[in-house]
Amino acid sequence: MIAILPDQQVAYCGEAGAYAEQALMRVFGENTPKLAVSSFPGIFDAVLQGTACAGVVPVENSLTGSIHENYDLFLRYPGAVIVGEYKLRIVHCLIANQGADMESIRTIRSHPQGFAQCREFLEKHPDWPLEPATTTATAVTSVARDKALSIAAIAGEVAAKIHNLKVLREGIETNPQNYTRFAIISRRTGGTAPALSGSFKPNKASLVLSIPDKPGSLVECLRILSEKGINLSKLESRPLVGRPWEYLFYVDVNIPGEEGIFDSAIAELKTKTLNFYFLGSYEASL
């Protein structure tokens, strides 16, 4: 658990009952002051402007992969740094107003990730139009507001209880091994140090690289990690916006226990890359 001062708050996107709020409470404690914002960039804005001391941002799902638009925010907001991560088990429910049933439903609302994670369930109901929402929790709020028996949302049971709505189906995600990985972000202070209190034991780091367009460039970077005994846990390429056919590589690595090895590898990587971004070092599991 990460410690914060009593007068500080933590930002997340959505409303009460959102999965991000659940992750926030697991990391910081149930009584932590929370700041709900309406967009993922809003989390970064709140952290960098000092309105919040930290933020909780979903970056990856075990069924649908990376949430690319949120990864890209780290490059738009270089003043933010990852200080932790939390993997939350996601159980999706089909939620509707009291009095609704499966036969009355005509439209489904959720975040696009919610639709993707429940693909097999939704394929059994191809006549249901899908209406995207900012988050799963905002989808539930809209269902409660509209009071229509023909509209349902895909979200967590907590959101249904908050609005006194009905769970029509529970566990509709395609695979029960459905986890979302949330990055805990804070503001950089003097390099890469987080602007938070608490005990930090970094054993994982996230990096972004761009490399020369020549044979062996990526192999050289990977060789540096291999020779120093650093395990690569994730490698993913993303198009470099505005520069067709050029790519950024998003990398997660495990930090060795022996002091100095990781810093040496980073210094050497910087000599082999065109651009190098250090997104943060943190505990792999809080």
Cβ-contact 236, 250 below 8 angstroms: yes
3-state secondary structure of 168: strand
The Cα–Cα gap between 37 and 137 comes to 12
The Cα–Cα gap between 3 and 99 comes to 43
Instruction: State the maximum Cα–Cα separation within the chain, in Å, rounded to a whole number.
Output: 64
Q: Which of 182, 249, 262, 278 is catalytic?
A: 182
The Cα–Cα gap between 154 and 267 comes to 46
- Please report the sign of the dihedral spanned by the C-alpha atoms of residue 228, residue 214, residue 208, residue 87: negative
182 is catalytic: yes
- The distance from CA 42 to its chain's CA centroid, rounded to whole angstroms, is 14
Q: Which of 74, 180, 262, 278 is catalytic?
A: 180
Joined tokens for residue 84: 């932790």
180 is catalytic: yes
Joined tokens for residue 29: 């404690």
Nearest to 235 by CA among 257, 255, 253: 253
- Helix 261-272 and helix 217-227: axis angle, to 10°? 170
Active site residues: 180, 182
